[in-house]
Each structure stands twice: as structure tokens, then as C-alpha cells.
Amino acid sequence: MSSTTSPTELDVLVIGAGFAGLYETYRLKRAGFSFLTVEAGDDVGGTWYWNRYPGARCDVVSVEYSFSFDEALQQEWEWSERYASQPEILRYAQHVADRFGLREHIRFNTRITSVEWDEDRARWVTTAEDGTVFDSQFVVTAVGCLSAPKPPEIDGLDDFAGDVYFTSMWPHEGVDFTGKRVAVIGTGSSGVQSIPVIAKQADSLTVFQRTAAYSLPALNRPTDPEEMARIKAEYQELRARAKAARTGLLVPRGTKTALEATPEERQAAWDQCWDAVGIFACMAASFTDIHTDEEANALVAEYIHEKIRETVKDPQVAEDLIPRGFPFAAKRVCLDSGYYETFNRENVRLVNLRRDPIERITASGIQTKGELHEFDIIVFATGFDAVTGPLVRLGIKGRGGRTLAEAWREEPQTYLGLQVAGFPNLFTLTGPGSPSVLSNVMVSIEQHVEWVSDTLEDLRARGIRTIEADPEAQAEWFAENNRLAEGTLYVKANSWFMGANVPGKPRFFLPYMGGVPTYREICEDVRARDYAGFALAS
Ligand code: NA7
């Protein structure tokens, strides 16, 4: 196909072949739509295709971070570790694509550069980088929440004579750190996972930390065959429990507040999380007030601070690694395998950027206020323009030629995280205002794909041409989510949840705060009331 051929006519165009795109592809194929899925990469997997950095691993238990829609699939797939590594998750995505014959519906190496609403024909005209044009009644975005890398915002990067890598765009052939002087900038999940692995290989590793993150031990281990057999025997029930859980995660949940618990009860609950459970949401779920009460939150924070002091031998390094200035779990908590221990290695050094900020990158390395650090390799683990970024960069133009970037300049409003007013027939899987990254995203992906796919089938059966979010319903949904978020400590951190990691981005809590089961009920209720809050037209 090229720009000279006529556009491909479709009912539905799906953008992205990560987990959301794969399941959407499966559902559209099953429903007999004329559709195509386009994918920028040359294979399926999305986030798990691009983020191949050393140590990349899921931080949700893999038996939960997997599809539940097909019983045979979940029975036949074997996870080798409790938290699967990136290569294994990618193999799983490939298996899903092959098993359900999805590849023939996916056009790879197709990066979308514009998605424009043709008002007269009530259709979307989508153009790829190679000039190919797709003409579709509906567009479903499945572009992920953490897929638009954030620029590093550090001067002088082009001057550096060594090699530069981004954890979010890791070379497929891997990187050999042997004998190299390596810098890692950033200590979120990507930094926390890659630092222990790079440290073992590199000649020296210097970690540049602006904000220390909270990290808990993953307690990763090989799969126990007996435990796996038990899980498979009751998989249906476990999935139902996950769907009914606020976070979509099977995590032990406390029923009392940390403040009413005795010091011994708190210690026992947190020891259990730290030494036995190893699920990132465990500490936050241990008592009911961790996300809402500063005093309760400070108690669990102090427990973790003490663990860091116990682990890291150099007292100054330990103090630098202790997260401060924001509540525990208000930023995404990391799960690690030997992160804090890594700073006891002779070849690892921590630079606290709060004391000694980066001035610029030079030909030989990184110039901080106090020192020139020389390197062969710089790794950026500097994060993403999360949730809204992947959608904005598609170049979406809705009614009246208004871009999504314009629509979201002040406030990232959506209706249910599924649609944006002024952008008819465009569905945003795991969009802002839906539980997405605040939940086990696989649970939320399945719920969104099912809602959107059922809706598309229903509209087709009824001969409805357009569905569009009502601006008032959208404003109410946005206000409700802000109200819920304001009642928590999440709003007190400069996190990517708040859009606060990207200069100039409006500061609002991006995922839906009300929990997975409430959200599901609301979506079902909206459909039961003939798509209340959406305008339908034949
Ligand atoms: P994160 O969690 O956004 O972490 C990015 C890190 O990079 C964080 O420590 C940032 O510090 C740091 N950063 C960003 N820009 C700079 C500059 N300019 N200078 C110094 N340090 C900087 O991204 P990840 O990829 O680690 O994880 C994303 C999610 O993937 C994670 O939450 C899991 O859900 C999976 P800051 O905090 O901004 O001071």
C-alpha cells in the first residue's frame, strides 16, 4: 500500500498491538467486523516489546497479569517465575497472537501520524508515517499508558561522545556493559529494576537520583508446580475475585486503620508484606488509612526508611536513598530484586541530584554543579509522558479540526476514560479517567475491550452511525474523579499519575480513583440506560 492507492475502507481501525490491541483484535475478528490493527513495532507486545532493558520484569504476579478471557489459554500457559521477565511476557503476547490467528489482522511497522475526523462523511481518516491512509467508521486506540517516552530535559545530550540508551527504547540486540563506565539517570521502576543488573556487569555504575522512590522486595522465585496446579484448578474463581477487588489485584487487605492498630499489629502486618507477600500494593492495602491519613502513612514510610537504613551500609548513602517529601504510595511503588543492596557494591556510586544537580551533559560525561563524571554509556530511565501522552502524539483532530492536544491543554477531560467530547466514534482503551494504571491493568484492559466491543456490536445491530460523549457528562465525570482524588494523599506527590513529571502538563490525577468494581458497575449502568452521557445518531 502507498499514498497513491485509495484508502483502506474499514469499520474499525485499532491502533496498537499490545495487550489491549491484541484482545480488541480478537473480539473484532470474532464479531466479523471489517477491521485492521496497526502497530508501530515489528511485532506484538506494546510496552513489553519496547521496554527490553536489563531486569525488566512485571511487578504484578504473572498468573494475574495475563488474560482471563479464554479458559484453555490460561490453563495451557506456564509462567516460569512468579513475576515474569520481559522476554517471557513478550513470548506470551506472541503466543496469544499466534494461538488466536491475530497476526493476519495486524499491519506491523505502521506508525500513525494523524487521525482526522471527516465531519461530512462521519468517518475517521488515519494516516501512517509511510503515507498509507485508512478510512474507518470507528477508531479504537490501544496505545498503552506508559508508551510515550519523556524527553530527558537535560542540556548537551548531543555532545556526548559515548553511547546513549533509553530504557523505554532498548536495542533488540541488547547492550554489553562489560568493562564500561556507566551512568543511569532516573530511579523509578525502570531504574530500580535495571540498576542491580547493570551494576553486576559494568566496570562502574553511577546512579543519578533526583527523587528516591519507595521500593519493596519482589520476592521473585521460580514457579512452584504444586502452587501452579492449585491456581489453575481455581483460576475462574481467582479471576472473579480479582475483578471484584478495588485494584484488580489479589492482595491481602487489612480491615482496620493503622492508627487504631497496636505497634505490634502494624509491625506484624508490614513484616508480612516485606518478608513473605512481596506484592507492591501490600503495604498500602495493609490498613485502610494508608492512602488517606498522613499520620498513618508516615508510620509505614518510617518502617521502610528503617529497612533502607538496615540494608545500606554507608549511612549517608542510606539517607540519600530514603524517599522524602511525598507520602508513601502516592507515587507508584517499585518492586525490586536487590536494589538497595546494590549500593553496597564497591563499583556503585549514588549522586544525589538534590545536593549536586546536573548542569549539562558534555562530550565525556555528566557535569554536575560540583563535579565532572566521565562515562562510556549513559542510560536514561527518565520515564514517560503517561496516559495522555501516547494519545496526544497520534495527532488526533476531532470536530472542527480541534486537536486532542488543544482539548486537553487545560484539563484532560474524558467521559469514563472511554471517549472525549468532540471526538465521535473514537474509543480510548485504558484512557485517562479509567482505572488503567491504578489497577492490575490486564483486568482493566479486559473490561474496556469487552465494553467497547459489545458497544460496537450493539451499534452495528441498531444501525447507529455515531456515538459521542456529551460535554456535560464528561465534565461531571472529570469533576467526580478529581473529588475522589482530593480525598487521598495521591494529590500530594509530583508523580506521573498527576501529570507532574512533564513540564507544562496540567496537574490532575489521571486514572480513575473509584476502583475497578465501581467503575465496571458504572459502565454497565451507562449501557443499561442506553449509553447515558453519550449522544447516538443514525
Ligand atoms: P518514572 O517512574 O517516571 O521514573 C523516572 C525517573 O527519572 C524518576 O526518578 C525521575 O525523577 C527521573 N527523572 C526524570 N527526568 C529527570 C531529569 N531530567 N533529571 C534527573 N532525573 C530525572 O518512570 P519509570 O520508567 O521508571 O517507570 C514508569 C512506570 O513503569 C512505573 O511506575 C511502573 O508502573 C512501570 P523525579 O521523580 O521526576 O524527580
What's the pLDDT score for residue 5?
A: 63
User: Whole-angstrom Cα distance, residue 5 to residue 141?
Assistant: 24
3-state secondary structure of 252: coil
User: Whole-angstrom Cα distance, residue 469 to residue 407?
Assistant: 13
Do 206 and 177 meet the contact criterion of CB atoms below 8 Å apart? no
Q: What is the pLDDT of residues 471-524, one digit of tens each?
A: 999 999 999 999 999 999 999 999 999 999 999 999 999 999 999 999 999 999
What's the pLDDT score for residue 533?
A: 98
Site to substitute for ligand 1 among 153, 382, 438, 510, most atoms within 8 A of C-beta: 382
Do 149 and 166 meet the contact criterion of CB atoms below 8 Å apart? yes
**C-alpha distances out from residue 29 to 24, 101, 134, 303, Å:** 8, 9, 18, 50
pLDDT, the chain, mean = 96
Residue type, 307: K
Q: What is the pLDDT of residues 392-448, one digit of tens each?
A: 999 999 999 999 999 999 999 999 999 999 999 999 999 999 999 999 999 999 999
Site to substitute for ligand 1 among 153, 210, 490, 494, most atoms within 8 A of C-beta: 210
Q: How confident is the model at residue 38 (pLDDT cuts 50, 70, 90)?
A: very high
Report whether pLDDT(75) > 60.
yes
Report whether pLDDT(113) > 90.
yes
Residues, the chain, total? 538
Residue type, 195: I
Residue with the nearest Cα to atom 25 of ligand 1?
Answer: 383
Site residues for ligand 1, CB cut-off 6 Å:
146, 152-154, 185-191, 210-211, 332, 353, 381-384, 496, 501
Backbone φ and ψ for 22, nearest 5 degrees, come out as: -65, -45
What's the pLDDT score for residue 298?
A: 98
Sequence spans of domains, the chain: 9-44+102-147+386-537
Can you name the residues that pair with 106 across neighbouring β-strands?
A: 37
**Rg of the chain's alpha carbons, rounded to an integer?**
23
Helices (H), 135-234: 189-201, 225-233
β-strand 215-217 against 534-537: which pairing, if any?
Answer: unpaired
Q: Nine-digit cell at 294?
A: 498522613
Report whether pLDDT(236) > 50.
yes
Report whether pLDDT(317) > 90.
yes
Residue with the nearest Cα to atom 17 of ligand 1?
Answer: 152
Q: Nine-digit cell at 192?
A: 530500580
Residues 6+ apart with CB under 8 A from 217: 274, 278, 335, 336, 337
Q: How confident is the model at residue 181 (pLDDT cuts 50, 70, 90)?
A: very high
Percent of the chain's residues with pLDDT above 90? 96
Q: Give the atom of ligand 1 at the shortest distance from the alpha carbon of 332.
A: 32
3-state secondary structure of 493: coil
Element at 437 (helix H, strand E): none
Residue with the nearest Cα to atom 32 of ligand 1?
Answer: 332
For domain 9-44+102-147+386-537, the CATH class is: alpha beta
Site to substitute for ligand 1 among 189, 208, 334, 350, most atoms within 8 A of C-beta: 189
User: Whole-angstrom Cα distance, residue 394 to residue 13?
Assistant: 13
Do 418 and 448 meet the contact criterion of CB atoms below 8 Å apart? yes
What's the pLDDT score for residue 391?
A: 98
Q: How confident is the model at residue 1 (pLDDT cuts 50, 70, 90)?
A: very low
User: Whole-angstrom Cα distance, residue 345 to residue 341?
Assistant: 8
**C-alpha distances out from residue 523 to 141, 241, 450, 481, 516, Å:** 18, 19, 11, 15, 11
Q: How confident is the model at residue 3 (pLDDT cuts 50, 70, 90)?
A: very low
Q: Give the atom of ligand 1 at the shortest distance from the alpha carbon of 51.
A: 25
